Chains A and B, each alone.
Chain A
């Protein structure tokens, strides 16, 4: 157990060692560690932010989908109503048209029947006159009995 110069030598070695560590080892490595810590912290914060944003976006998407669904049912309802209205209108118009055409046809039929009746009456009158002429050719003066014959024709 003797204390000698070795003691001083070891002190000097130690001083060199501490100086070297303080100057060349600690600042660099500690800097790297601290910077990495900052980066990790930032990364975690960014992840947290992204998660919150994703949640917001999800909520927004859900409400929008809901709205779109609502809108689409509304549109479908409206379209159905419109289709029904169109069909109803078409039916009414068709019925009207039918009635109109029916009335027209009936009028035409009536007028044609009237005309035929008149022609028939005329022809019958004429035939009756002719027949009568033939029967009473000599006895009847057409001029004198024209009024009588016309009256007859009208009565037929």
Chain B
């Protein structure tokens, strides 16, 4: 929306960084904000993924697969191989989890490749300029910290669940107190409880933070660069370099999209595998 009267690249970018927000409380406390765009896009993409895979899962044949089924199986076998290499145990829940993460994050990241002004343009075309000025819609759910934190906290809960399941409630709690520093005599053990516990808390909390921040940072940064490049296209002088940069960045971003989805999936598997290990 370079034709805004206020103009300016800063204004343009700030406009694009606003979420479509719905508030669910009377005092408009910030926690009750709901970013409708993130929720809608991510949920829609989740539905797309589920429907797509479910359609092939429903009529899956062990005979000669159709090309569609082969593609779906390719994705599944890719994920399953990664899980098999890292996690040695019952994969019946771990691989579907990894598959969901990979496909969902991949889809959400891929929204980055849609034009940054697509949503705004659609709103402007169908609802008019005035509505467009007050309507915000961000297409990339993973460039919203809420999405990535939601994912990583869910992963953390699953990881803790795996730890408790593998070691039992008592074993899990005991390990929080007695690892990583081990001691033989009881006094030293008691002394080491506090540092052990603190270290474990830090270690456990660092997992979701690193997961969420890595994905969010990559996608947010990528989106920002796309906006900056879009700013180049305002002027006819910088239009051609803008197109060139846009193409180059998009091609580079294909790598980031897949890589970030893969890293998120891989780290989840690694966390689950380590949670099931005894120290």
Give the interface of A toward B (CB within 8 A): 1-11, 13-18, 20-22, 24-33, 35-36, 39
Tell whether B73 is near chain A: CB-to-CB under 8 Å. yes
Instruction: Check if B73 sits within 8 Å of A1, measured CB to CB.
Output: no
**In-complex Cβ contact of B146 among A6, A24, A27, A39 (8 A):** A6
Interface centre among A15, A21, A22 (most CB of B within 10 A): A21
Question: Roughly how many angstroms separate A90 CA and B42 CA in the complex, as a whole number?
Answer: 111
Question: Roughly how many angstroms separate A127 CA and B123 CA in the complex, as a whole number?
Answer: 173
Secondary structure type dominating chain B contacts: helix
Q: Smallest CB–CB gap between A13 and chain B, Å? A: 5
Instruction: Check if B100 sits within 8 Å of A9, measured CB to CB.
Output: no
* Minimum-distance CB pairs A-B, first 4: A10-B150, A35-B62, A6-B146, A32-B60
Instruction: Check if A9 sits within 8 Å of B34, measured CB to CB.
Output: yes
Report B-chain residues with C-beta under 8 Å of the C-beta of A16.
46
Tell whether B206 is near chain A: CB-to-CB under 8 Å. no
**Residue in chain B with minimal CB distance to A12:** B150
Instruction: Check if B63 sits within 8 Å of A5, measured CB to CB.
Output: no
**In-complex Cβ contact of B62 among A1, A3, A20, A36 (8 A):** A36
**In-complex Cβ contact of A5 among B32, B95, B154 (8 A):** B32
Tell whether B270 is near chain A: CB-to-CB under 8 Å. no
**Residue in chain A with minimal CB distance to B145:** A1
**Residue in chain A with minimal CB distance to B35:** A6
Given A4-B31, A33-B76, 16 extra CB contacts under 8 A:
A1-B145, A5-B31, A6-B150, A7-B146, A7-B147, A11-B150, A14-B151, A18-B96, A21-B53, A24-B57, A26-B57, A26-B76, A26-B95, A28-B58, A35-B62, A39-B63
Q: Smallest CB–CB gap between A22 and chain B, Å? A: 4
Instruction: Check if A4 sits within 8 Å of B76, measured CB to CB.
Output: no
Query: A13 and B60 in contact (CB under 8 A), knowing A2-B30, A6-B34?
Result: no
Interface hits, B145-193 → A, CB 8 Å: 145-147, 149-151, 153-154
Report A-chain residues with C-beta under 8 Å of the C-beta of B58.
28
Interface centre among A8, A16, A29, A36 (most CB of B within 10 A): A29
Q: Smallest CB–CB gap between A19 and chain B, Å? A: 9
Q: Smallest CB–CB gap between B157 and chain A, Å? A: 9
Instruction: Check if B150 sits within 8 Å of A28, measured CB to CB.
Output: no
Instruction: Check if A29 sits within 8 Å of B33, measured CB to CB.
Output: no
Instruction: Check if B49 sits within 8 Å of A9, measured CB to CB.
Output: no
Instruction: Check if A13 sits within 8 Å of B100, measured CB to CB.
Output: no
Report A-chain residues with C-beta under 8 Å of the C-beta of B95.
26, 30
Q: Smallest CB–CB gap between B150 and chain A, Å? A: 3
Secondary structure type dominating chain A contacts: helix
Give the interface of B toward A (CB within 8 A): 24, 30-35, 38-39, 42-43, 46, 49-50, 53-54, 56-58, 60-63, 65, 69, 72-73, 76-77, 80, 92-93, 95-97, 99-100, 104, 141, 144-147, 149-151, 153-154
Instruction: Check if B96 sits within 8 Å of A8, measured CB to CB.
Output: no
Report B-chain residues with C-beta under 8 Å of the C-beta of A26.
57, 76, 92, 95-96, 99
Query: A39 and B24 in contact (CB under 8 A), knowing A10-B151, A18-B100, A21-B99?
Result: no
**Residue in chain B with minimal CB distance to A32:** B60
| 27 CB < 8 A contacts A-B | A3-B149, A5-B32, A6-B33, A6-B35, A6-B39, A7-B146, A7-B150, A8-B150, A10-B38, A10-B39, A10-B146, A10-B147, A11-B151, A14-B104, A14-B150, A21-B97, A21-B100, A24-B54, A24-B57, A25-B53, A25-B54, A28-B58, A29-B69, A30-B76, A32-B61, A33-B73, A36-B65
Instruction: Check if B145 sits within 8 Å of A29, measured CB to CB.
Output: no
Q: Smallest CB–CB gap between B48 and chain A, Å? A: 11
Instruction: Check if B63 sits within 8 Å of A14, measured CB to CB.
Output: no
Instruction: Check if B145 sits within 8 Å of A3, measured CB to CB.
Output: yes
Report B-chain residues with C-beta under 8 Å of the C-beta of A17.
46, 49-50, 100, 104
